[in-house]
Amino acid sequence: MKSRHKKLALIGGALAIIGIIAALVLNALNSNIALYITPSEVAAGKAPQGKTFRIGGLVKEGSLQRQADGVTIAFVITDTAKDISVHYKGILPDLFKEGKGVVAQGKMTAENQFTASEVLAKHDENYMPPEAAQAVNDAQGANKHVSPSSAGTQPKAGY
């Protein structure tokens, strides 16, 4: 083989390897993406079927039910317009309370219930992600304004 052919074969092989690596990385990233969806969007049928996604809102007052085993929990997430029943088996975060913000990651079941694999509690009462603030604002209409500008609020000294 001529040196020119060797160089072309080497470049072609390198490009093929780079292409395969890029395809594997993109496939891995795509399978690990969890979309954020509100309860109203889930009720409207916009939730991905058979795929993991995140649902966020407020834990509805009086909806928390603990089973006798101590680790199986059922509660309702609401965006003040629609409610979604959530089932979770595990230890809840310390900040998890009724009436407080929560984000749960999991899948919808055939019974139209959300089975969570992970539950995250909101860490500060002054912070709400812009997407969640917009969703709550849209769900409530013009009755109550939730501003994402509260995200810039600084915590009090002593924390």
Q: Domain ranges in the chain?
A: 1-33, 35-145
Query: β-pairing, 35-37 with 53-59?
Result: parallel
pLDDT at 153 over 50: no
CATH topology of domain 35-145: OB fold (Dihydrolipoamide Acetyltransferase, E2P) (2.40.50)
Per-residue model confidence as pLDDT tens digits over 111-120? 778 899 999 8
Q: Looking at residues 40-44, what average pLDDT do you find?
A: 86
- φ and ψ of 66, to 5 deg: -105, 140
Q: Looking at residues 128-150, what average pLDDT do you find?
A: 62
pLDDT at 156 over 60: no
| Among 106, 97, 114, 105, residue whose Cα is nearest residue 63 | 97
Per-residue model confidence as pLDDT tens digits over 79-107? 888 888 999 998 888 888 888 888 899 99
pLDDT at 50 over 60: yes
Q: What is the pTM of this model?
A: 0.60
